[in-house]
Chain A
């Protein structure tokens, strides 16, 4: 039993690390490697739609990885590298699109919808409470009538 659990854990560990296409790039230091990793994971492969360029084996993704590596070696900043690619392939290559007139609905739409939902909920609750309160209190005339009705039935 213990062995089985250990085996399972090992498998899970392996599954986690077995992504990404293999390129042999040498980095000056760990920080550089980390930057390369975040960049290739954040940028989308133009050819293969739903993969980042780290995971894709398409030739274009290979080219882009090489290009990103080259720019890192030249000492360019992350912004410069992303801008370089956006200038060629458009905002499509960014998995995190910038906030602009075209994407504003995408960014803030859900929050706006959530608030509208809360608003509607609050409105409905308030109305329900008001109508419940209104129906539970009887006017003077109604109360008198109720009393007479009850009185009449009692004997």
Chain B
């Protein structure tokens, strides 16, 4: 009994050490999205190419897709863009939300760097971004064919992130 009691401080120390060690590798900027498992917020916004044409959340339903929030003022989005182009070429459905941006600049960007998006949503006021809980571009949502948000990735999608994290999740949604 007394032996065991003497070991107690060591046990507590080990427990705390495990917790703190784990904490070393957690990224505090990575917030869990409050929207996982919830449907896309409903919206009706013009498209980037044509202000007359309205895009709504119903247009996104039907196929699993990536919904990518981007802007021309976002430096990291430029890094991400070629990867999205490549994914679109492979047949991945990607929709773009142009978040709080100048529309002319966005149009030019899509012309200059190629357009990987099937739908281009123009969210100039950031209302859709707010409803999506966006706090910094680029952010990407994985949406299933019913329009339910299944996963959120904050930051640049590079080839490694796609291969190691998102590809399998996307494939799962396609196979569903």
Contact = CB atoms under 8 A, between A and B. Distances in A.
B56 interface: no
Contacts of B28: 49
A88 B31 contact: no
B29 interface: yes
Contacts of A87: 34
Given A49-B29, A60-B136, A89-B135, A67 B130 contact: yes
Contacts of B131: 88
Nearest to A60: B135
Range of interface residues on B (Cβ < 8 Å):
10 to 19
B136 A47 contact: yes
A89 B126 contact: no
A73 interface: no
B135 A86 contact: no
B34 A89 contact: yes
A109 B29 CA distance: 25
A88 B130 CA distance: 7
Contacts of A88: 34-35, 130-133
A90 B32 contact: yes
B43 to A, nearest CB: 13
Nearest to A90: B34
Interface in A23-52: 46-47, 49
B33 interface: yes
A78 to B, nearest CB: 19
B136 A89 contact: no
Contacts of B135: 46-47, 60, 89
Nearest to A48: B135
A107 B34 CA distance: 21
Contacts of A59: 100
5 contacts: A46-B31, A60-B135, A88-B131, A90-B32, A92-B31
Given A63-B130, A88-B133, A90-B34, 17 more contacts: A46-B31, A46-B133, A47-B135, A47-B136, A49-B29, A60-B136, A63-B126, A86-B34, A88-B132, A89-B31, A89-B133, A89-B135, A90-B31, A90-B32, A90-B133, A92-B31, A92-B32
